[in-house]
Each structure stands twice: as structure tokens, then as C-alpha cells.
Amino acid sequence: MKLFIANGHLIDPAAQENTGMSVLIEDGKVSAWLRPNETQPEGCEVFDATGLLVAPGFIDLHVHLREPGQEHKETIASGCAAAVAGGWTSVCPMPNTNPVNDNAAITRYMIEQAEHAGSANVFPIGAITKSSDGAELAEMGEMKAAGAVAVSDDGRPVPNAGIMRRAMQYAKDFGLPVIDHCEDKSLSAGGVMHEGRVSLLLGLKGMPALAEDIDAVRDIILAQDTGAHVHIAHVSTKGAVEAVRRAKNEGINVTCEVTPHHFTLTDKYVEGYDTNYKMAPPLRSEEHVDAIIEGIKDGTIDAIATDHAPHHHDEKALEFDRAPMGITGLETAVGLAFNELVHKGIISLERLVEMCSANPARIFSLEGRGTLRPGSIADITVIDPELKWAYSNAESRSRSRNSPFDGWEFTGRAVATFVSGRLVFKA
Amino acid sequence: MDKPFRRRDLLGIRDLTAAEIKGILDTSENFLEVNVREIKKVPTLRGKTVINLFFENSTRTRTSFELAAKRLSADAVNISVASSSLSKGETLVDTALNLDAMNPDCIVVRHGSAGVPYQLAKVSKAAIINAGDGSNEHPTQALLDAMTIREHKKQFEGLEVAIVGDILHSRVARSNIHLLTKLGARVRVAGPGTLVPPDFIHLVGADEGRSTQLIVCEHIEEAIRGADVVMILRIQRERQDAAYFPTLREYSIHYGLTNERLDLAKKDAIVLHPGPMNRGIEIASEVADSSRSLILDQVKYGVAVRMAVLYLVTGGSASA
Ligand SMILES: [Zn+2]
């Protein structure tokens, strides 16, 4: 079975390629690149990519798929459908399922459900501690053997520095990155939005930026001490960006990701008390968003991840301080990255592809992905950078509708998604 | 009466212009007279339905709104909802839609969460009046405070107003700061550092040209010295558990309004308190009972202000 993606513009940052090139795929793997003047091989199914970008499949390091336990919000199948519609060929679900993904059986179950669904690849993230309670280490080695690619207690960050230190020492043995949702809850407790002028104006309890800064600094120090790889999730503050920048300069093993909403929106959007603007970390003020943009520009920030967090409508229809935190994001991320980063001249197309494919693959050591070099797995995202489209919550593939970007117009989207050489989405 | 206020809802003072605030105060003056008549009732809102939807207990505010509605001949219905009933599955939006199906003209809402009146206004056909939402706003309280101040001080321009206590969590303080600075007064706030963050000066922004009208004082004495009006906030006893201050005893010693502290204010200074008072904690009994204390006037003006607001948002006929 051969597939020929013809006449596209190939961007493969890992291979330092950015040129007109057709891609030949055999048995789910890239077998060759052909220049536009070379003759098309015989007996291929052809996908005409004229005028389109052909990139290594995008990898989302941070999603919530809610299965097992909260299938009314999302299932692995519905989450994967939303993923491929957004151009993501692989997603890494956080372990805050019910039960928590803190053992190999659940890790395996998640991967099996994804294979069943047959669209995006699922690379689960295991818990750092049992039940993410922050007390006893989870069986990281077993989970890794079952297919886990990193560990995190995400929204319930390990509060005890001693346990976090041990977790890093232990995770290092298995080559697992420790993902850190940086939030010192003793500082952010009860907060429902960024602490600042807007929270003052709205009478809502704020989460100070320093709650993120302090935890980021703590865990960078622990990474330096242990030599473990710490990956800072959804970085959102000026202080955390600066801490990562400094750490990288000092050679500490640290990487980080940013979400589209944190580089797009400020806390001013909370002014109407719309719970679709409630998330953790919260939308920050302009100075923090500026620092994030700067970090994207200078390479401090490695990857774009969605933190796709589906919630049922009834839960989001509550009072602002009682509604759950989080928004969906798989289908809007690429559009937002185009609007806010590429079309505004913040980063090049090549850098965008790098932040969505090469870097995520490197950060979680996903062999054979994040590049389309011959021999690699044929996970491919085909993009029309000039396509004008509007996102609609009503048409989302996710089971949930909690996106603040309903009705937003974008220029640029993924128009076809291939996983292991199989077309799994076409716009 | 020509209507000075053309909004459908009264959600907060923050959104209002100085002219709108003055308009509400002027309308309130007109209704004040109804409250001292032999027959305290006018047909202004005959046939209109007002629902008092209270998710938080507040006998005072609810009674004040209820009296205001009845004196305007509206049909007033009280609904008390323990917040816990919402956790049984009914969402805020469900509640609003259910009430809407009964076609009320106005819903007066009090809720422990900031923003609820804004959320209801988006889905309800009825006019929404905010009767206090979490730590956000309590607009009719600020309006009745303003009416009390205007009665005694005649104007707001150049007035020095001290607000003392739990500024951080106080919807009364917030609404008053917006109102008083919009009308030209200067507000100084003071209290324990845990409850009066220095950043509070950003509540009224430079973009609105009012940044010099709000001052955060380090000491209560600094706030009260030379003040025309001293506004004392009620201390929520549960704040103590959250470690904002060590004990009520220590609070009363360092931040309570005593006669000695009040002597720092102007000779003709007046004292306001939104009630109910914790006597001996945020305010000494001798201050509360002195002639400078206008706490009962505030209650009296409360009914008139609420009549005015109900009249303005529900669009009743002016024939009194
Ligand atoms: Zn998180």
C-alpha cells in the first residue's frame, strides 16, 4: 500500500528541510522524498498537496481525555477525533482520570482504547504519585513499560519538595520527564482567576503569578540537583519564563510548553464572568502575555500544547467561582497559532512546525516521530496556511463545548491529517 | 419624571456614569417623601412582579427591597435558595430560566458568588438588580450611603471619605469607592495589611482620570485624620479563621472606631456603617450611638433608593 503526497511544500525542521517536495509513503512509513520534477512512482494512491504545507504530524504534549471515569465530558475516541481535526496526530493525556492513571493497567487501557478508535496516537502520561495524592511514588517503571511517556500530577502538583526530589531521582532512572504544573497552592488557594487589577475590579479571588513562579523555581532547582528532565507545563507568567530562560542558559535539563490561550487572551476577557475563560493557570495580564510572546520568539518556550480540558455544559453553567477550570483546545490551536504568532510575524512557519512536532517528539523521546525523514513513521499534518475559516463549538468533534473561541475567525488550518500513512481527517 | 437612567439592569456602580448616579439619587429624593406619607403607597408599579431571589441570608436588604416594591404597588415574591440546592444539579442558568418562565419584570438577586447578576442578566428577560454579589458590588448600598452623605454634606466634590476595615472582601467598599470617586470625592482606605492590599489603588484606574482619588493608608489614623465621612465596614467573623488577622480582640484594639480615633476627623464628620454592627469590634458602642452616627438614616434612605431603582429599571409609569 503506497501513498504519494504530491507537490506539497515540505517543512521538516528536524531535517532542516523547507522546500517543495513530494513524500512517498509505504507501509505506514515515509520511504522517500521526491523533487517536483521527479516522476511519480507507479501504483500509488495520490494526495494532491499543491499549495499546501506538509509537516510532521503535530504532537500535543498536554490533553485531558477524561476516559476512564468522565466519559460524559470526553472519551478517548471523541478526543482523538477532535485531535486529528485540529491537525494533531498524537496526544498525551494527563493522568487525572478516574481512577487516576497511576498504574500500568490503566495506561494500557488508554492505549487500547485509542487503537480501537483508530485515529490519533495516544501516549499516556502517568501519575507521579499514587492517586496523585502527593504522598507515595507511583509505579513509574511499570507505566513506562506499558507505554507511558512522562509523569505528572498536573493539576495537583506535588506540594512536598522532598517527595518531588525523590520523584525526579526515580523518574530519571527510567528516562521519564517529570511534567510540572507549577502552582504553589498555599498561594493560589481559592483563587479563580489571575490576581491583578481585573480580579480586583470583578471581586473575584485571584491566583497570584508568584504561585507559579515559586513552584517553577523550586522544581528547576530540584532538576539541577537531580539531573532529571523537568518539563514545565503551560507556562503563563513572566517569572516562570525568566526562570526557564535562566535555567537553560545554565544547562539545566528543562523544557516548557505554552498553550494557545495563554499567548492569545488576557485576564480582561474574564470581565463578563463567562466561565469559558476560567482555566488554570489563569489568563494573565498583558505584561505576562508579552513575556510569553518573547519566550516563544527567543526559543525559551519549546512547544505549543493545548491543555485541552473538556467540561460538560452544566458544570460550566455555574457561578464563576464554582465552575470547573479548563477549556477545549484541540481544534483551535493551529488557527490561534497562525493568527497570533505566524501572521503577526512573531515566528516563522518553520518555527511553528518545530514547536508542534519536532520539539514535542524530542521532549518526550517519541522515536520516529516529529520528522518525515525517510524511515520515520508517516504521521503527517497537511496545512493550508491561507485558508479562512471560523471555529464553531456546535460543530466540534469533542463531546464538550467549553471553548471561548466559538465564532472566532482564523486564517490557516490543518486540512488533512495522516496517522501511520492513513488519512484520518480531511477538511 | 424624566428618566435619568436608561439601563435595563443595575448590576454595579462600576459601569455607571456620574450623571446616571446623580439621576438615581435625584429619583430617590422624590420617593423619600412617599415613605413619610400617611398612606405609604403609590401605584407606580401596579401589575408588575418583582422577585427577590436571595441565595444568601440578608433580612435587612431583602426587607428593604420588599418594602420598596410594595410601596410602589408591585407584587413582590421572596425566594430564598440555600446555595447547596444548586449543588443538587440545578445550574444557575436553569434557575434563571425557570424564573423567567413566570414572566417577572424584575429579579433582585443576592448571591455569595461575584458576577452572578451579570450571568443572570445575559440569560434572563427580566431586569436584574444586584443586591450584593460575593466580594464584587452592592450598588444599592452605595447609593443609599451616597444619599445619606449628600443629605448632610450637600456635595461630593472635595469630600474626604475614610473607609475602614476588610476592604479586600467588601462589596460595600468597592461600590462606594466607585461611586464616591466618580462623583468627585477622595477615598482613603485603611485596615489590616492582609485585608487592604496596597494594589487596591488600582481599583480606580488612571485611564479614568481618578487615580489620585483613592489612597491606601497604612494606618487607620491616617485615613480618619481630617475626614468628612468615616465609613466602617462590618468584620466578617469567619475571616478570622482564614488567618487574615489573629483575633477579634486584636482587631478591635488596632482597627476599631473609638471616640478617640473619631476625634481625628473633622468636627462635623459623620459615621456610616452598612450594618449589622459587631458592637465593640469594628465600632465602639458610644460611637455607634452618638449623634454623628447616621446608621438609622442609612436604613431609611435604603427604601427610597430601592424604590427609585425598581422604578427606573422596570419602567413603571410616573404618575404617583
Ligand atoms: Zn495543568
Cell numbers 471555529: residue: A391
Please give the full DSSP string across B252-314, using - where no structure is assigned.
HHHH-B-HHHHTTS-TT-EEE--S---BTTTB-HHHHTSTTB-HHHHHHHHHHHHHHHHHHHH
Cell numbers 477532535: residue: A82
List chain A residues with CB under 8 Å of B92: 317-319
Whether residue B171 lies within 8 A of chain A, CB to CB, comes out as yes
Q: How far apart are the first and last CA of chain A?
A: 23
CA A343 to ligand 1 centroid distance, Å: 28
For residue B136, give the nearest of A197, A202, A318 by CB distance. Answer: A202
Confidence at residue B76, expressed as pLDDT on a 0 to 100 scale: 94
Pick A13 or B86 by higher pLDDT.
A13
Region of poorest pLDDT, from A89-93, B7-11, B138-142: B7-11
Asked if B113 and A317 come within 8 Å (Cβ–Cβ), the reply is: no
Assess whether the previous peptide bond of B4 is cis (omega < 30° from 0).
no
CA distance A267 to A277: 8
CA A412 to ligand 1 centroid distance, Å: 27
A8 pLDDT above the threshold of 90: yes
CA A255 to ligand 1 centroid distance, Å: 15
- Nine-digit cell at A92? 498525551
- What mean pLDDT, rounded, does chain A reach? 97
- What mean pLDDT, rounded, does chain B reach? 91
User: What value does the mean pLDDT take over residues A225-244?
Assistant: 98
Confidence at residue B316, expressed as pLDDT on a 0 to 100 scale: 56
A204 → chain B, closest CA residue: B114
- Nine-digit cell at B50? 418583582
Asked if B133 and A321 come within 8 Å (Cβ–Cβ), the reply is: no
* Cβ neighbours around B201 below 10 Å, total: 18
Confidence at residue A412, expressed as pLDDT on a 0 to 100 scale: 97
Confidence at residue A4, expressed as pLDDT on a 0 to 100 scale: 96
List chain B residues with CB under 8 Å of A322: 86, 113
CA distance A124 to A62: 10
Q: Which of B92, B138, B244 is the best substitution to test chain A (most A C-beta atoms within 10 A)?
A: B92
User: What value does the mean pLDDT take over residues B218-235?
Assistant: 96
B319 pLDDT above the threshold of 50: no
Q: How far apart are the first and last CA of chain B?
A: 10
A392 pLDDT above the threshold of 90: yes
- What pairing do the DSSP bridges indicate for beta strands A2-6 and A22-26? antiparallel
CA distance A20 to A6: 10
Query: Is residue B215 within 8 Å of B181, Cβ to Cβ?
Result: no
SS3 B93: helix
B83 pLDDT above the threshold of 80: no
Question: Over the stretch B135-187, which tens digit does the pLDDT of each residue have?
Answer: 999 999 999 999 999 999 999 999 999 999 999 999 999 999 999 999 999 99
Nearest residue to A319 via CA among A273, A272, A270: A273
CA B250 to ligand 1 centroid distance, Å: 40
Q: Which of A197, A319, A321 is the best substitution to test chain B (most B C-beta atoms within 10 A)?
A: A319
Whether residue B89 lies within 8 A of chain A, CB to CB, comes out as yes
Confidence at residue B224, expressed as pLDDT on a 0 to 100 scale: 97
Question: What's the DSSP call for residue A156?
Answer: S
Q: Is A307 considered catalytic here?
A: yes
Whether residue B137 lies within 8 A of chain A, CB to CB, comes out as yes
- Catalytic hit among A60, A180, A184, A307: A307
Asked if B199 and A322 come within 8 Å (Cβ–Cβ), the reply is: no
Nearest residue to B129 via CA among B319, B316, B320, B311: B311
SS3 B123: helix
Region of poorest pLDDT, from A235-239, B128-132, B216-220: B216-220
Sorted by sequence, the CB contacts under 8 Å of residue A202 that are 6+ apart come out as A193, A270, A271, A273, B114, B115, B136
CA distance A255 to A230: 7
List chain B residues with CB under 8 Å of A268: none
The band of B89, judged by pLDDT with boundaries at 50, 70 and 90, is low
- What pairing do the DSSP bridges indicate for beta strands B75-80 and B49-54? parallel
CA distance A378 to A136: 39
The band of B90, judged by pLDDT with boundaries at 50, 70 and 90, is confident
Nearest residue to A95 via CA among A124, A129, A133: A124
**What angle, rounded to 10 degrees, do the helices at B116-123 and B92-100 form?**
50
CA A203 to ligand 1 centroid distance, Å: 24
Helices assigned H by DSSP within chain B? 18-32, 59-71, 83-87, 92-100, 116-123, 139-153, 171-182, 220-224, 248-255, 259-262, 285-288, 295-314
Taking CA atoms, B293 is separated from B166, B187, B189, B301, in Å, by 20, 19, 19, 14
Confidence at residue B269, expressed as pLDDT on a 0 to 100 scale: 97
Q: How many CB pairs under 8 A join A and B?
A: 61
List chain B residues with CB under 8 Å of A201: 14, 203
Query: Is residue B31 within 8 Å of B308, Cβ to Cβ?
Result: yes
CA A209 to ligand 1 centroid distance, Å: 15
Q: Give how far B115 is from chain A: nearest CA, Å.
A: 6
Question: Residue A194: beta bridge partners?
Answer: A207
CA B27 to ligand 1 centroid distance, Å: 51
Question: What's the DSSP call for residue B206?
Answer: G
Chain center to CA of B205: 21
Q: Which of A202, A274, A287, A314 is the best substitution to test chain B (most B C-beta atoms within 10 A)?
A: A202
* Cβ neighbours around A43 below 10 Å, total: 7
**Residue B168 one-letter amino acid:** L
Confidence at residue B138, expressed as pLDDT on a 0 to 100 scale: 98
**What angle, rounded to 10 degrees, do the helices at A104-117 and A76-85 form?**
60
Cell numbers 454595579: residue: B12
Cell numbers 463531546: residue: A399
B85 pLDDT above the threshold of 60: no
Confidence at residue B209, expressed as pLDDT on a 0 to 100 scale: 76
Confidence at residue B301, expressed as pLDDT on a 0 to 100 scale: 95
- Nine-digit cell at A408? 472566532
User: What value does the mean pLDDT take over residues A89-110?
Assistant: 97
B311 pLDDT above the threshold of 80: yes
- What pairing do the DSSP bridges indicate for beta strands A230-232 and A254-258? parallel
B198 pLDDT above the threshold of 90: no
Confidence at residue B35, expressed as pLDDT on a 0 to 100 scale: 82
Confidence at residue B315, expressed as pLDDT on a 0 to 100 scale: 77
List chain B residues with CB under 8 Å of A314: 89, 91
For residue B113, give the nearest of A196, A317, A322 by CB distance. Answer: A322
Pick B38 or A156 by higher pLDDT.
A156
Confidence at residue B318, expressed as pLDDT on a 0 to 100 scale: 46
- Chain A residues at the B interface, defined by Cβ less than 8 Å, are 196-197, 200-205, 272-273, 314, 317-322
SS3 A395: helix
Cell numbers 459587631: residue: B278
Asked if A273 and B93 come within 8 Å (Cβ–Cβ), the reply is: no
Question: Over the stretch A287-346, which tens digit does the pLDDT of each residue have?
Answer: 999 999 999 999 999 999 999 999 998 889 999 999 999 999 999 999 999 999 999 999
Query: Is residue B114 within 8 Å of A272, Cβ to Cβ?
Result: no
Pick B233 or A38 by higher pLDDT.
B233
Query: Is residue A296 within 8 Å of A258, Cβ to Cβ?
Result: yes
Asked if B114 and A197 come within 8 Å (Cβ–Cβ), the reply is: no
CA distance B283 to A178: 54
Asked if A319 and B111 come within 8 Å (Cβ–Cβ), the reply is: yes
Question: Over the stretch A111-146, which tens digit does the pLDDT of each residue have?
Answer: 999 999 999 999 999 999 999 999 999 999 999 999
**Residue A247 one-letter amino acid:** A
Question: Over the stretch B232-289, which tens digit does the pLDDT of each residue have?
Answer: 999 988 777 678 999 999 999 999 999 999 999 999 999 999 988 999 999 999 999 9
List chain B residues with CB under 8 Å of A320: 113-115, 119
User: What value does the mean pLDDT take over residues A379-385?
Assistant: 98
User: What value does the mean pLDDT take over residues A9-25?
Assistant: 97
Question: Over the stretch A173-231, which tens digit does the pLDDT of each residue have?
Answer: 999 999 999 999 999 999 999 999 999 999 999 999 999 999 999 999 999 999 999 99
CA distance B13 to B139: 6
Across B33-42, B59-68, B78-87, the highest mean pLDDT is recorded for B59-68
Rg over CA atoms, chain A: 20
Asked if B202 and A205 come within 8 Å (Cβ–Cβ), the reply is: no
Confidence at residue A47, expressed as pLDDT on a 0 to 100 scale: 96
Query: Is residue A55 within 8 Å of A11, Cβ to Cβ?
Result: yes
Helix (H) or strand (E) holding A17: strand A17-20
CA distance A276 to A125: 25
The band of B87, judged by pLDDT with boundaries at 50, 70 and 90, is low
B105 pLDDT above the threshold of 80: yes
Nearest residue to A215 via CA among A192, A197, A188, A196: A188
Confidence at residue A126, expressed as pLDDT on a 0 to 100 scale: 98
B119 → chain A, closest CA residue: A273
